[in-house]
Chains A and B, each alone.
Chain A
């Protein structure tokens, strides 16, 4: 019976090609604009580390006091060097690491090639197990090497390709700026997006960092941060590197891994105690205030999803709504025009249920064709995304099987939803009245 209804539907749709094309195009455009903006939204709002995201936390400490916030200055999203190293020494979490972005020039061994710039991070040994960083050769360094300020480096597979043509380079030497490092590990292709551990400094969607070096060594070598350095007021700052380290300028990102609620509570207590102690020492002269957000809360706080992406998605959904209202109107006109035909079918014994089936089958055809058109337009939309969104974000949006399936499913569901009212009206047609009026 369904096959027959589909056939009837096709014939009816062919009778008004203009109206049918209009409906299909409306569904196609509406679905495609929503799906294109959704593809972008999906790319930027994904969880970069689903297995760990509820166990990773970033603390913020109120180092500038209530007065700064009265001036509209937010709690700094990084820690000062003093606090970051104090939290590292305390080791109250299962894993903890301080992180800051650095940039170096790599000097190739052969004199013929030019130096090139490469970005990376200064961090602690815990970084690699904590963030599940995968290695193809070797591994991370250990806490002993942190303390010893060892000249070791973990490099990305890209940098390994560039410097060592992809060979196992563990034990080889890399020269960054004026210092030689021994390669201790080579990462597999690893670039969590958004780059949650450095959201205070980048938009989260950049190319993978080229290397990781021990934080302790980087500070010893007076390696400048490539990220933000936020200070409040002008007092308490001495010139020079040491003056900067001792200042209340915030520039060090900090992450801890706390496996369960008890550990989170314990860490809160520790932060509270740490701040109270600093208060007693006369450093902070206000009551302790801190935050401890997990990874997803941190991404919200740092507004990883740009407002542009949200507005686009919302307005596209509004656009889809108008397209659907449009379709409801056209279908209503189309279905009610066939009141006579419905009357005859009903008089010949068709039940209301069968009228429902017949007209929903016709709508389903529109939905499927609209969905196919939608997939086509979504493809075009995703190709043209670079015109509209940031390049870093645009290249993340892609079309895949799940997006195609979602597009088709949405088109079908939306069209059937739109057909509900017109079909209901069609099924309510009174056969006697229709037969009489003709």
Chain B
């Protein structure tokens, strides 16, 4: 295939050529970055929480009438008892928060009691001996809390646990040599001994600002006696919906001086997850829609302009055919022409894509785009261009040689 005559023809259509190349370049820049954002958001929202999500239910309870901490302690104990006796419930405990909830306590954790230079930030989960089995956490080293270790603390009481259970992510940060078990760390002025390590327990927050320590959680052996109590329930397989329907009524039957929202007071982990990652999912959907429509419009634009060019050159095509060019030659001509334009477009587009990424990185703290996305984008756009030009090029190849003799 001769490239020179193609270049000569393109010189006559400078503006059109430039416009297609520009469109391809801009499309590449936007689609690459959109795909990259989608990939990041999807990997963010599919992070495992460490919880056996299919069988865990959370009840958000608030005590009415401001009971004292002492009263709350007995109310909580009575509730946990009620919940355990509910058909379908395998285990239950009370805490301040749960993964992906969006609210809770975070402390600095480190090697000195003043905590002015903590090693990491950690989410604090109030737990008792039933927390691990209820959440379905996997203990990879050490032991669970014992019932006699569990203390009680009100809102402003000192949280100074003698024993703590940490996630492997946090253990590795505190003791990079892997020797965390049995060592002490400071979340308060008093030393706490790491008695157990769980494989994973995500923090309550999914925001990008807290992503750095999302896998750094600490379980402390306390019951927190405050107005808001979260009950975490483990249900027997297949009974999630059943328990969910009855749990609110059962708690109200035991004691009415409480508020459990009829709307979202009882939540499955599927709902919790959907809620926590709503903006991630939304962003991925939006970027996906924009990418698809953008590619469609660019393809349509190429079809439109190529068809027009074919129509304009019918006579020349006829002449070439009359002079011995095969259908195949004509088809090849238009495909090559498109490939040349697209190549210029994707070259410029790759630079634009990287530039746009740099700019987004600066403005929105996005990560650096992996070169694979640009390569994938280039391949997609080249294929798209060839696909779009195929129909008009086939039409061109069917122009009969007799066209050369007809006037326009």
Contact = CB atoms under 8 A, between A and B. Distances in A.
Same complex for A and B? Answer yes
Contact of B27 (A67, A224, A322, A438): A322
B26 A318 contact: yes
Interface residues of A, number: 60
A244 interface: yes
A315 B290 contact: yes
Nearest to B15: A332
B259 A116 contact: yes
Given A315-B33, A322-B294, A337-B312, A329 B113 contact: no
B268 interface: no
A288 interface: no
Interface string A312-353: 100110110111011011101110010000000000000000
Contacts of A421: 15
Interface in B361-377: 363-365
Query: How many B residues touch the partner, as a band?
Result: 35 or more
Interface in A216-239: 224, 232-235, 239
B306 to A, nearest CB: 10
Interface in B216-233: 226-227
B323 interface: no
A312 B283 contact: yes
Interface in A159-185: 177-179
B62 A29 contact: no
B282 A388 contact: yes
A105 B294 contact: no
A107 interface: yes
A313 B57 CA distance: 37
Contacts of A234: 113-115, 186, 188-189
B285 A388 contact: yes
B287 interface: yes
Contact of A329 (B20, B261, B294): B20
A32 to B, nearest CB: 10
A319 B301 contact: no
Contact of B259 (A71, A105, A326, A387): A105
Interface of B: prevailing SS: helix
B19 interface: yes
A319 B286 CA distance: 12
A311 interface: yes
A333 B304 contact: yes
A438 B408 CA distance: 8
Instruction: Name the residue in A179, A234, A312 with the highest tally of chain B Cβ atoms < 10 Å from its Cβ.
Output: A234
A425 interface: yes
Nearest to A106: B64
Contacts of A224: 155, 226-227
B147 interface: no
Contact of A105 (B33, B64, B305): B64
Contacts of A388: 282-283, 285-286
A282 interface: no
Contacts of A315: 30, 33-34, 287, 290
A75 interface: no
Interface in A297-318: 306-308, 310-312, 315-316, 318
Given A329-B23, A330-B305, A390-B278, A311 B364 contact: yes
A33 interface: yes
Interface in B265-320: 278-279, 282-283, 285-287, 290, 293-294, 297-298, 300-301, 304-305, 308-309, 311-312
Contacts of B29: 318
B304 A71 contact: no
A29 B292 CA distance: 12
Contact of B301 (A26, A116, A306, A307): A26
B257 interface: yes
Interface string A19-30: 100100110010
A433 interface: no
B117 interface: yes
Contacts of A334: 308
A18 interface: yes
Contacts of A178: 65-66
Contact of A306 (B256, B279, B285, B308): B279
B203 to A, nearest CB: 15
Contact of B19 (A71, A235, A332): A332
Interface in B329-376: 356, 360, 363-365
A71 B290 contact: no
Interface string B244-267: 000000001000111101000000
A273 interface: no
B290 A319 contact: yes
Given A311-B364, A319-B290, 12 more contacts: A22-B301, A67-B116, A233-B116, A239-B156, A315-B30, A318-B356, A319-B293, A322-B26, A329-B20, A329-B301, A330-B305, A421-B15
Q: What are the 3 tightest A-B residue pairs by CB atom distance, in nearest-first order?
A: A388-B282, A115-B64, A329-B19
Interface of A: 18-19, 22, 25-26, 29, 33, 67-68, 71, 103, 105, 107, 114-117, 177-179, 224, 232-235, 239-241, 243-244, 306-308, 310-312, 315-316, 318-319, 321-323, 325-326, 328-330, 332-334, 337, 387-391, 421, 425, 438
16 contacts: A22-B304, A107-B64, A115-B64, A234-B113, A239-B156, A240-B156, A311-B37, A315-B34, A318-B30, A321-B26, A322-B30, A325-B23, A325-B26, A333-B305, A388-B282, A388-B286
